[in-house]
């Protein structure tokens, strides 16, 4: 059974940094594209970033380009999201997910496994 556990969220001020981590188990981690999504209250779940199986190709939504960096350590079965220059609009619950269908990277339906989420709150 696939399990994803996110950690690293918290309450920070605008301009601060956080590093989120997602520990995976129950799968051959290196065989899957991984991604981070986020969801603010009253909003749809939004794609944030994805990373290829070998970690060489990354893709980001426009609003986080230049500020966030996704990475993975296949030896530790862990994917990370380094979040710099945080803004209040980054406030959301952040989820990691396993891509299980070869559709669009930004489409939630192409991800069948999700973590419990970690709350990121950025104050002004």
- 83-108 confidence digits (pLDDT tens): 999 999 999 999 999 999 999 999 99
Tokens 């803004």 belong to: 87
Average pLDDT value over all residues in the chain: 96
Cα Rg, the chain, nearest whole Å: 13
Neighbours of 26 (CB within 10 A): 12
pLDDT tens by residue, 20-39:
999 999 999 999 999 999 99
The pLDDT of residue 113: 80
- Residue 66 pLDDT more than 90? yes
DSSP E strands: which ranges in the chain? 3-7, 10-13, 18-25, 34-39, 46-51, 58-60, 68-73, 78-83, 92-99, 111-114, 118-123
């Amino acid at each position: 059974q696939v399990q994803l556990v996110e950690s690293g969220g918290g309450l920070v001020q605008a301009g601060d940094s956080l590093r989120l981590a997602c520990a995976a188990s129950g799968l051959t981690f290196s065989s899957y594209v991984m991604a981070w999504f986020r969801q603010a209250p009253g909003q749809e779940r939004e794609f944030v970033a994805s990373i290829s199986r070998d970690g060489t190709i990354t893709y980001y939504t426009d609003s986080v380009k230049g500020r966030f960096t996704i990475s993975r350590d296949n030896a530790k079965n862990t994917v990370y999201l380094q979040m710099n220059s945080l803004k209040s609009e980054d406030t959301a619950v952040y989820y990691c997910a396993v891509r299980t269908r070869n559709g669009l990277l930004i489409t939630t339906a192409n991800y069948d496994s999700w973590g419990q989420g970690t709350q990121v709150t950025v104050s002004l």
